Amino acid sequence: MCEKYNLEKEQLPLEDFRIKLRIEDFFKIGKRLTLKDLLKYLKDKGDISSFGEAIVIKDFDGKITLENANFHEEFKIETCPLTGWKYFYCKLPVNILDSDDDNEHSQGLQPRYLIFDKVFQMFRHFQNYPVLQPSIGRIENGKILLFDGQHKVVALLWTGRRNFECKIYINPDLEKLNQANISAHDKFAQTRFFSSIMVLKLGAQFGKDFDDYKNNESDPMKTEQGFLEYLSKKDIAQTQAEIKNKFRSYLYNSILEDDKNICANFALRFT
């Protein structure tokens, strides 16, 4: 590895650094990129054989069947109690997925463009942690179009994932669905932790890790450096910066929750 790349690599695993370079190469295409752009990029590079394939859809007796020459699956149809819209949960291959972008015939529901830092951070995260929520899409002219969770799908594609958990609406009111989607990404975006809550959450986890390290008999000599190495081995996805943040949170937590700290309640009001 040349000196330039060795400096850029820092403490990243070699394979992660290689993917980072590929993501950087992808983002050189333009400024307003979506999942569709990545799918085109991966197809051109030979990473995937196809995407956005048309499917035949059959709806009968509370079930929906999706099929084409390469895919055939049946799923249970659910009904939204408020709107009456039909939808189904499924795991679908990239071959029949596409991004819900604007086109010459209609306006898409995809509200965001891709962000490099978010893609790379999620790529590293999903190498070690599960996906908690499905991506959301709809059926339009025999195609599955995803409009929510594109960063998730993009990050998973870089990990090598080729099948994705989805929630797909069958025939929704597009104007109402679009407004719901915009609100979800704007006014009702997932609530971030207050800093005081995050401190307590991270601090509690760090404290548990420290107790586990102290009770680990494989290393009788306990040191701060040994603890940092223990954390790095336990979760290779954690960077040194993340470990230091946990340690800082652990110290805050220890101070704020100390029974002798008469200023704890006052301090929490301003964090």
In terms of average pLDDT, the best of 108-112, 119-123, 177-181, 226-230 is 119-123
Q: Reduce the DSSP state of residue 73 to 3 states and report it.
A: strand
Three-class SS string for 111-158?
Answer: CCCCCHHHHHHHHHHCCCCCCCCCEEEEEECCEEEEEECHHHHHHHHH
Q: Does pLDDT of 114 surpass 80?
A: yes
Domain residues for 226? 195-268
Closest by CA position to 109, among listed 26, 155, 168, 188: 168
Percent of the chain with pLDDT over 90: 52
Amino acid residing at 129: Y
Say yes or no: 162 and 43 in one domain: yes
Instruction: Measure the CA–CA gap between 249 and 255, rounded to whole angstroms.
Output: 10
Q: Does pLDDT of 134 surpass 60?
A: yes
Q: What is the pLDDT of residue 248?
A: 72
pLDDT digits 0-9 by tens, 146-179? 999 999 999 999 999 999 999 999 999 988 888 8
* CA 30 to the chain's CA centroid: 22
Q: What is the pLDDT of residue 268?
A: 47
Counting every residue written for the chain, the total comes to 271
Instruction: Measure the CA–CA gap between 144 and 164, rounded to whole angstroms.
Output: 12
Say yes or no: 178 and 209 in one domain: no
Structural domain includes residue 3: no
Say yes or no: 221 and 248 in one domain: yes
What's phi and psi for 13, nearest 5 deg?
A: -60, 150
Say yes or no: 142 and 81 in one domain: yes
Instruction: Measure the CA–CA gap between 130 and 126, rounded to whole angstroms.
Output: 6
Structural domain includes residue 190: no
What is the CATH classification number for the domain harbouring 117?
3.90.1530.10
Instruction: Measure the CA–CA gap between 36 and 182, rounded to whole angstroms.
Output: 19
Q: Cβ contacts of residue 51 below 8 Å, gap of 6+?
A: 39, 40, 42, 43, 94, 95, 96, 97, 98
Q: Does pLDDT of 194 surpass 70?
A: no
Structural domain includes residue 36: yes
